[in-house]
Amino acid sequence: MAKQKYRYEYQMDENIHRSKRLQELFLKWVKSKPEFKNRMPTVDETIHEMTKGILKDLVEQDVKKAAAKHWRQEAQYYLRHIQVVKIDLVASSISRPIRAFLPLGIKGKNGSIPDSSYIPSKRVANDPVMVDCVLGRAQREFDNWVERYQGYAEFFDTFQPVVDAYQHIKTELNSRIRELRKKTG
């Protein structure tokens, strides 16, 4: 029998907004099931364990509290999807839609963003300091994307040219951010 060249092991993403104890509990469940070595657990299997099995600590068991949490998440979801367009009355053109409210504040408990941190896009567009904040966040998100797909490049050789192209774009983005910061002092 040929010797294995690689070993694969599951772990939780470092950016997950859950306690280490809950992450470990969930991962222990996934690792304990031999069938999950060749497939992902289904949502129904996971819900079953969260409501009737060993994963009860992962979710709220009180139905009223769980419903209130769900409704809050749904409200936030809809609010995140409000868009705004800029209409040029002279040229009779309409911009592409963007999010109407941008989160610019510090993340709160469990990585959530407080309602007061959302700023109307129109106000952000007219404030160079806020634009710089948005560009900084875009840069961090871009860096996270590149980092995530660089991992794929290690698994699949075909990803490396894409990652290299994005590294070039990252250089351009950094240059534009420096230019903006010079202008705004």
Q: What is the pLDDT of residues 83-110, one digit of tens each?
A: 888 888 888 888 888 888 888 876 666 6
pLDDT computed for residue 118 by the predictor: 84
Asked if 159 and 149 count as a contact pair (C-beta separation under 8 A), the reply is yes
The per-residue DSSP string of the chain comes to -PPPS--------TT--S-HHHHHHHHHHHHH-GGGGSSPPPHHHHHHHHHHSTTGGGS--SHHHHHHHHHHHHHHHHHHT-EE--EETTTTEEPPPEESEEE-S---GGG---GGGEEEHHHHHT-HHHHHHHHHHHHHHHHHHHHHHHHHHHH-GGGHHHHHHHHHHHHHHHHHHHHHHHHH-
- One domain for residues 153 and 182: yes
Q: How far apart are CA 55 and CA 48, in angstroms?
A: 9
The yes-or-no verdict on residue 43 having pLDDT over 80 is yes
Q: Is residue 18 part of a domain?
A: yes
Residue 51 lies in a domain: yes
Q: What is the mean pLDDT of the chain?
A: 85
User: Stretch 1-14: mean pLDDT, rounded?
Assistant: 77
pLDDT at residue 156 greater than cutoff 90: no
- Within a domain: 13: yes
> Do residues 96 and 133 both lie within one domain?
no
Is 1 inside any structural domain? no
Domain limits at 53? 9-59
Q: Over 80: is that where the pLDDT of 64 sits? A: yes
Listed in sequence order, the residues at least 6 apart from 79 whose beta carbon sits closer than 8 Å to its beta carbon are 101, 118
Tell whether 2 is covered by a domain: no
Which residue's structure tokens are 């290299």?
A: 164
Choose between 57 and 113: higher pLDDT.
57
59 or 6, which is more confident: 59
C-alpha 47 chain-centroid distance: 22
17-40: average pLDDT = 91
| Tally of structural domains, the chain | 3
Task: Kindly state whether residues 42 and 79 are assigned to the same domain.
Answer: no
Cβ proximity of 102 and 133 under 8 Å:
no
Residue 159's pLDDT band (cuts 50, 70, 90):
confident
pLDDT at 11: 87
Domain end, chosen from 59, 85, 101, is at 59
83 and 111 inside one domain: yes
Same domain as 104, residue 64: yes
